[in-house]
Amino acid sequence: MKRYSVFAIAREALRQHAGWERAWASPSPRARYDVVIVGAGGHGLATAYYLGKNHGITNVAVLDKGWLGGGNTGRNTTIIRSNYLQDPSAAIYEKSRALYETLSQDLNYNIMFSPRGVMMLAQTEHEVRGYLRTERANALQGVDTRFITPREVKRLVPIIRLDGPRYPVLGALWQERAGTARHDAVAWGYARACSAMGMHIIQNCAVTGVESAGGQVTAVHTTQGSIGCGKLGIVVAGHSGALADMAGFRLPVESVALQALVSEPIKPCMDVVVMANTVHGYMSQSDKGEMVIGGGADHFNNYTQRGSWQHVEETVRALVETFPMLSRLKMLRQWGGIVDMTGDRSPIISKTPLSGCFINCGWGTGGFKAIPGSGWAMAELMAKGESPLAEAFSLTRFREGRFIDESVAAGVAH
């Protein structure tokens, strides 16, 4: 694999760009691999990458029923932060945020990481108390975050209205080293690095069944034939329940659509990410000038990848009060992604009742920010049988009552 650099760009410019290689190979599947990972999104590709980089396991296949990064990885609003209240959550998200900072250098691929800062608006007295509590918890966890005043909010976001009649801004929880990254580039960078290590990324290869013998996983049945495996990783977000059913166990998850939209592009007017949890809306401005707006999840279980007009109306109506300039913009497009929700709104990174089968799911509405940390923990669990980052997120916590309730703690799971 050729290394990307300014010199490579200059050299190829002189050659009419005729020497570029494919970023990743498209091989036919072999009969057997040491590890098969189902799901070629960010979490699945990150798992494969850290299996190779950290543990030397490269006889790996990553399967996807569609195209690489075509699921939730390509359908999110790219927010990266780590200021969660619960200790296990803060640990894995901070690991992920730290990995994002150097991921472009690690992968030799520009993921366009932008540490522009993320603020979570406090628009009720209850939120003020909650964020002050989170600020102190983050200080103990080593996560750099602080509560800022309305005046500081206005300085950072001049277009904001502080004195809305329904949703006044009373302050905000501010994480300066949080930000965004290019979602497609994260998947592409991991895929390129995995392919360079000799791993197989097999697209348009849907899994139709899981084969086992004596309680041990032995193979997966796919639309491209049966593929043997020593270990199996299921990393398929909203379709986790369906894959678990094939493997013979049930998951405490439900699938719903989460949606977002973007406006027409405008001149730069906001260089931070703003989350308004009271109204369940969040917004940033893309490099192209679009206002990227995230809304809530549907209130009913479904597998659609479309948005719904009632959420667009509810989200935009509330955000217009805080950002009046939005009322003059046209919506460019909207979309949805299928997210998998657990009862405590925290993920599952765990062994399963089927020996040799591991599951990574339940990220709900906050999966993109966790990709590097999730892959790191999942790879360690699959390679060693245990991982400090993943220990608290075991399936057994639901049976034992060890919930990690970020939804109640933070008011929102994003």
Residue with tokens 């935009």: 316
Q: In the CATH scheme, what architecture does the domain 23-82+84-108+183-252+344-410 have?
A: 3-Layer(bba) Sandwich (3.50)
The two structure tokens encoding residue 363: 């990220």
What is the Cβ-side half-sphere exposure of residue 269, based on CA atoms within 13 angstroms? 14
Q: Please say if the pLDDT value at position 57 is more than 80.
A: yes
The angle formed by the CA atoms of residues 159, 165 and 167, to the nearest 5 degrees, is 65
Is residue 137 within 8 Å of residue 201, measured between CB atoms? no
Label residue 277 left, alpha or beta by phi (over 0 means left) and psi (-120 to 50 means alpha). Answer: alpha
pLDDT reported for residue 212? 96
97: confidence class by pLDDT, cuts 50, 70, 90 = very high
> What percentage of the chain has pLDDT greater than the value 70?
98
118-178+255-342: which CATH number, 3.50.50.60, 3.30.9.10, 2.160.20.80, 3.90.1150.10? 3.30.9.10
pLDDT at 411: 45
Which of 95-99, 130-134, 178-182, 305-309 has the lowest average pLDDT? 305-309
Closest CA to 108 of 7, 191, 195, 4: 4
Domain ranges of the chain: 23-82+84-108+183-252+344-410, 118-178+255-342
Which residue is listed with tokens 């990885």? 73
Say if CB 293 and CB 315 are below 8 A apart. yes
- CB burial of residue 13 (10 Å; 0-12, 13-18, 19+): exposed
> 46, 235 in Cβ contact below 8 A?
no
Q: What per-residue confidence (pLDDT) applies to 165?
A: 83
CB atoms within 10 A of CB 49: 27
Is 413's pLDDT higher than 70? no
Q: Residue 327: which pLDDT band, with cuts at 50, 70 and 90?
A: very high
Chain segment 214-225, per-residue pLDDT in tens: 999 999 999 999
Tell me the average pLDDT across 354-381: 96
**Residue 308, pLDDT above cutoff 80:** no
What CA–CA distance (Å, rounded) separates 80 from 78? 6
How confident is the model at residue 80, as a pLDDT?
Answer: 96
* pLDDT-wise least confident of 44-48, 89-93, 311-315: 311-315
Q: Which three-class secondary structure state does DSSP give residue 355?
A: strand
Confidence of residue 352 (pLDDT cuts 50, 70, 90): very high
Which band of pLDDT confidence, cut at 50, 70 and 90, is reported for residue 2? confident
Residue 304 has pLDDT above 90, yes or no: no
- pLDDT averaged over every residue in the chain: 93
pTM of the model: 0.95
pLDDT score recorded for residue 408 = 54
- 294-312 mean pLDDT: 80
- pLDDT tens for 192-215 read 999 999 999 999 999 999 999 999
What DSSP line would sit under 216-256, residue for residue?
A: EEEEEEETTEEEEEEEEEE--GGGHHHHHHHHT---SEEEE
- Quote the pLDDT of residue 138: 96
Q: Which of 368, 345, 384, 299 is nearest to 77 (CA)?
A: 368
CA distance 266 to 177: 25
Residue 36: what pLDDT?
A: 98
Identify the CA nearest to 272 among candidates 347, 192, 175. Answer: 175
- Do 23-82+84-108+183-252+344-410 and 118-178+255-342 show the same overall fold? no
